[in-house]
């Protein structure tokens, strides 16, 4: 009602289905996902997400627009987590399960992925950085929608940390202690 009928509706969500927005928009053909990564000024990737109803010309226009603002677009369908989070979140779950079982310390898990896999930060640090409540919200939504998907599980340790208010960087305490954006 606020946007002209010809306007494109884009969501920056990282986990909610774009089709849910499209279905209630009254203009499903003009709804896309434009998932920018944080910090936006440093991260070059944008996932451009289409639903079955997205007009191909609108989709192509959005991809060209991301190029015009200096980003690299990747095309993806409206699937849980799109591309990056679909790969990333189960990786975070595996790291938390290693920690939960006592198979490795959080420091060893982090340094292993940094030095062994070339990641800029380890998965436990990344979980704290994203926000443990955010990861829990994403996982619970995926589990609800896809209860039989084996990679969508909620580690007990994650639920307990959120219950205890240890939400990560934004709370000053998660798996690690934080002082602003830096681990303490």
Task: Based on the residue annotation, tell me whether 119 is a catalytic residue of this protein.
Answer: no
Separation between Cα atoms, residue 48 and residue 69, nearest integer Å: 14
* 168 half-sphere exposure, CB direction, 13 A CA radius: 17
Give the angle subtended at the CA of 110 by the CAs of 104 and 115, to the nearest 5°: 115
Q: Pick the catalytic residue: 35, 50, 166, 169?
A: 35
Compute CA 71 distance to the chain's CA centroid, rounded to the nearest angstrom: 18
Sheet holding 31-36, edge to edge: 9-11, 31-36, 45-50, 72-77
The answer to whether 47 touches 74, Cβ cutoff 8 Å, is yes
Residues serving a catalytic function are: 35
């Amino acid at each position: 009602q606020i946007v002209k009928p010809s306007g494109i509706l884009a969501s920056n969500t990282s986990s909610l289905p774009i089709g849910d927005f499209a279905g209630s928009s009254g203009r499903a053909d003009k709804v896309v996902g434009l998932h920018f990564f944080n910090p936006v000024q440093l991260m070059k990737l944008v996932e451009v997400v289409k639903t079955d109803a997205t007009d191909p010309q609108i989709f192509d226009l959005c991809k060209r627009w991301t190029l015009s603002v200096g980003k690299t677009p990747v095309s993806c369908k409206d699937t849980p987590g799109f591309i990056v989070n679909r790969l990333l979140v189960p990786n975070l779950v595996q790291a938390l399960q290693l920690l939960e079982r006592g198979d490795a310390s959080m420091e060893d898990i982090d340094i292993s992925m940094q030095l062994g896999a070339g990641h800029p930060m380890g998965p436990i640090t990344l979980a704290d950085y994203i926000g443990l409540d955010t990861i829990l919200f994403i996982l619970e939504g995926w589990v609800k929608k896809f209860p039989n998907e084996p990679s969508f599980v909620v580690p007990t340790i994650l639920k307990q940390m959120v219950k205890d208010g240890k939400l990560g960087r934004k709370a000053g305490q998660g798996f690690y202690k934080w002082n602003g954006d830096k681990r303490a």
